[in-house]
Amino acid sequence: MDPQVIIIGAGIAGLTAAGALAEKGHHVLILEKEAQPGGHVAQWDRLFPSRRPGSEVLDHIRKIMDGRVEIKPGIRINGIIAHDQDFTVLTEEGTSYTGQALLIASGFRLFQAERKEEYGYGIYDNVITSAEVETVFKQGKKLLTSKGTLPQRVALIHCVGSRDEKVGNLYCSKVCCVTGVKQAIEIKEQLPQCEVFSFYMDMRMYDRHFEELYFEAQKQWGVQFIRGRLSECSEAPDQSLIIKTEDTLTGRPLRMIVDLVILLVGFVPEPETGKLVEMLGLSTGEDGFILPSDEHYNDNLTTVPGVFLAGAVKGPATISNTIADARAAALQIDSWLKTKP
Amino acid sequence: MKDFGFTVQLDHSIDYDAKDKRMMRYVLYHEPSLDWCIGCGSCTATCSAGQFTLFNIRMAHTLLRRGETEKLKQELKKCMFCGKCQLTCPRGVNLRNVLLRINRAIELFG
């Protein structure tokens, strides 16, 4: 039997929407490009702001949909044909799937830090990304330098690949500020002797409990915040790093030697999603993320009837926002299916 | 006059309305990209002159905006016009033209 809804992407957005649609009695199929479902969250340790394990949230979502939703992993889509009443998705493997509605929940990609060459990622071993820090924590390991020593001083760099016309991304990635604060606390938890510095342009603590987490980082953990964007990073002979910024609050250039630099990488549109956009004739914003048909009233709808959106395909989003958005998309799809003959 | 042993301090605040804004208007008219600045300090961090002198291009921009023209004139002499500030700016401000225009504004209104 053909599914009623085909969901592209088995991350937080796709899984949540699948569960909500299954609860309403719809037959759902998820197509996922990776071998395992779970998306980015499956790679992350604890979530901001409460520091609850990411796996807990993922398990909860999966519990709702398990046994009721079919997931096909390792799928590469190479065509979508829109008929009058349904859509046929063609894969590179030569299989095809037909459904009445299509939900694009294919998420985002993390900014490739190598592109910000002056920060030395991929050149210096002690320059790592926030995603790699999550992997270290998730494996229950200690955060170490490339030589295997405990870092005495760590710098977290905000806005890497975000708010930067030099890499073509003018938008704010929304979640990096609070991720930086969360990781700063986690580093202090793990290595109380380590000095932790955060280099920021603005601290965007916009959501509930974010500001409190920022305050906790200052009050309880002694994390130090320096207002200035990193201009460059170079390696000393002992593999420690020399970073340069302006300390804008004293108005003077500042140099500092640190053992580890952590780049808080932002969101970029998933290139694979770009192919779907072309196949379906959808439109994207200047930021490259997909535009819904109306940003206020119909933000899960597209200009193509039957094609819906959920989660970070529409731009950077937190996990809680993504879950809410995916549920909203499920409701929209449910009403749409009911109007069909 | 009798010395009572205390002095009078002049007002240290910026009296925004009393400042001459012709230089600011001139520079912004000829280089509108200056309005895009978010004050992150990348320019100053990378500035060749700023490593050895108190020159601070980010601060110079703020002085221009606040009409602090006397301080600005002293500042601008230190710039070597290398353009590194422009290479690093995350907002794409045309800083070399800003500096040229500030120098011209000083000639015109200074």
pLDDT at A113 (0 to 100): 98
Q: What is the mean pLDDT of residues A114-131?
A: 97
CATH 3.50.50.60 is held by the domain A5-107+270-339: yes
Q: Answer yes or no: are the C-beta atoms of A31 and A273 closer than 8 Å.
A: no
List of residues 6+ apart from A308 with CB closer than 8 A: A101, A102, A103, A104, A300, A301, A302, A329, A332, A333, A336
Residue length of chain A: 341
Asked if residue A1 has pLDDT above 80, the reply is: no
User: pLDDT class for A208, splitting at 50, 70, 90?
Assistant: very high
User: pLDDT class for A312, splitting at 50, 70, 90?
Assistant: very high
- C-alpha A311/C-alpha A327 separation (Å) is 10
Asked if residue B12 has pLDDT above 90, the reply is: no
Which of the pair, A318 or B71, is modelled with greater confidence? A318
pLDDT at B74 (0 to 100): 83
Please choose, from the candidates A232, A270, A321, A287, the residue with its C-alpha nearest in 3D space to the C-alpha of residue A104. A270
> How does pLDDT run across B64-75, given as a tens digit for each residue?
999 888 888 888
Q: What is the mean pLDDT of residues A304-315?
A: 97
User: pLDDT class for A293, splitting at 50, 70, 90?
Assistant: very high
Q: What is the mean pLDDT of residues B35-63?
A: 92
pLDDT at B18 (0 to 100): 87
Q: Measured between beta carbons, which residues in chain B are less than 8 angstroms from residue A247?
A: 41
Distance from CA of A151 to the nearest CA of B (A): 25
Q: Measured between beta carbons, which residues in chain A are less than 8 angstroms from residue B90?
A: 159, 163-166, 229
Q: What is the mean pLDDT of residues A8-21?
A: 97
> How does pLDDT run across A80-92, given as a tens digit for each residue?
999 888 999 999 9
Q: Measured between beta carbons, which residues in chain B are less than 8 angstroms from residue A166?
A: 88-90, 92
Report the CATH fold assignment for B30-109: Fumarate Reductase Iron-sulfur Protein; Chain B, domain 2 (1.10.1060)
B38 to chain A: closest CA residue: A201
Q: Measured between beta carbons, which residues in chain A are less than 8 angstroms from residue B45?
A: 228-232, 244-246, 253-254
pLDDT at A33 (0 to 100): 96
**For chain A, which residues make up each domain, given as ranges?**
5-107+270-339, 113-266
> How does pLDDT run across A238-287, given as a tens digit for each residue?
999 999 999 999 999 999 999 999 999 999 999 999 999 999 999 999 99
pLDDT at A211 (0 to 100): 97
Interface of A with B (CB under 8 A): 118, 159, 163-166, 201-202, 227-232, 244-248, 251-254
- C-alpha A255/C-alpha B29 separation (Å) is 35
**For chain B, which residues make up each domain, given as ranges?**
30-109
pLDDT at A85 (0 to 100): 83
Q: What is the mean pLDDT of residues A215-244?
A: 96
pLDDT at A156 (0 to 100): 98
Please choose, from the candidates A119, A124, A152, the residue with its C-alpha nearest in 3D space to the C-alpha of residue A239. A124
Q: Measured between beta carbons, which residues in chain A are less than 8 angstroms from residue B51?
A: 253
Backbone phi, psi, residue A199, to 5°: -105, 115
Report the CATH fold assignment for A113-266: FAD/NAD(P)-binding domain (3.50.50)
Nearest beta carbon to residue B38 from set A201, A231, A244: A201
User: pLDDT class for B92, splitting at 50, 70, 90?
Assistant: very high
pLDDT at B1 (0 to 100): 72
Mean pLDDT score across all residues of chain A: 96
Q: Indicate left, alpha or beta for A251 from its phi (over 0: left) and psi (-120 to 50: alpha).
A: left
User: Would you tell me which residues 13-52 of chain B have a C-beta closer than 8 angstroms to some C-beta of chain A?
Assistant: 38-47, 50-51
Q: What is the mean pLDDT of residues B26-50?
A: 95
pLDDT at A84 (0 to 100): 83
Residues A287, A91, A33, A159, Cα dihedral to 10°: -10
Asked if residue A2 has pLDDT above 90, the reply is: no
Q: What is the mean pLDDT of residues B2-16?
A: 85
